[in-house]
Amino acid sequence: MRAQGHYGPELRDVLPAIAGLGLTVAGVAVALAWLYRAHGAGSAVAGVALLAAVTLLVTRWRRAAVRRRGGIYTPAELMTLDELGLAVAAERMLRRDGWDVISMPDAGRPRLYARDRGGRRLDVGFRPADGRRTDDAPPAAAPTLRETHPPGLDDLVRVVVSQGAYSRTDELWAARQGRVHLVDGRRLRQWAAGASLDALGLPG
């Protein structure tokens, strides 16, 4: 069972964590006892209240961190992400949805390749929310999504992710290219909340 990964950790594996927890509890108890003796019951109560507040904040922070690692982000969290942070979030969301993801930056800009169990392939690029372009040019992220793919990758779906909005011209450009999926800020928030790319209209 252990070889198959179905057997839990042994005592020696968890002993350091148990010892650390015990030392922490003992240290807190000693500190509260010292506060009580040195400054009275009021200080001890204040110490307990402070400890409870810190514990609550740490617990919330850890839960949020675990949630983000699982590929779930709130709209407020998305707003704080730069282009690199958005790429990390997109990678986590793809993995959450069952895609195998490889990060392959292109010319210093983040870029992801992904494949699902059905053999579909994605080429994911990112467009700054304030990206500007001329009316006859493709979206700003398009230079990172090359027009010519290696042989055998004609079924590659290109995904362009932005926290901003796409213009009508952008959408027309994507429609002319074929197999291009634009993820704007609204779709990004839905994706980050748990919706899959398929639910957001990803070409099959």
Over the stretch 139-189, which tens digit does the pLDDT of each residue have? 544 443 333 334 445 578 999 999 999 989 988 888 888 889 999 999 999
Mean pLDDT, rounded, of the chain: 81
> If we measure between CA atoms, which residue out of 189, 191, 196 comes closest to residue 76?
189
Are 193 and 72 in contact by the 8 Å Cβ rule? The answer is yes
Over the stretch 85-111, which tens digit does the pLDDT of each residue have? 999 999 999 999 999 999 998 888 899
Angle between helices 83-96 and 185-193 (to 10 degrees): 50
- pTM exceeds cut of 0.85: no
Are 161 and 142 in contact by the 8 Å Cβ rule? The answer is no
Structure-model confidence comparison of residues 162 and 49, the more confident one? 162
Distance CA 199, CA 146 (A): 26
